[in-house]
Amino acid sequence: MFLDVTESLAEALGLVAPTGIIVVDVSPGAGAELAGLNDYDVIVRFDDTQTVNSWDLGRFLMAHPSGATIIVIYCRDGVVRSTRLVLGERTAQSR
């Protein structure tokens, strides 16, 4: 699950701007966990696509097949990091 970064969340997390999506509730065994993402990491980019909000995430995921490996750029504790993430299978609910 993800939350859009609002101005108040950006301020609380010490972010420069209210852009990106916050990772919430990483599921055990899911692609996010396997890639090393934690709750409250802020994703700002997938591959070469800036991620401003959850709408951007949805568009990006629809354009990439399950099993694709992508680069995720995220912030944790004020440090910009990157990881590789393999997109999981989509369920009917997530389409």
- How far, CA to CA in Å, does 59 sit from each of 53, 56, 82? 10, 5, 20
26-37 residue pLDDT tens? 989 888 999 999
Residue 82 pLDDT greater than 90, yes or no: yes
Per-residue burial over 8-22, b if 16 or more Cβ lie within 10 Å, else e, is ebbeebebeebbbbb
- The model's pTM: 0.85
Q: What is the pLDDT of residue 33?
A: 92
Helix (H, G, I), strand (E, B) or coil at 17: coil
Percentage of the chain modeled with pLDDT above 70: 94
Answer for the pair 50, 44: CB distance below 8 angstroms, yes or no: yes
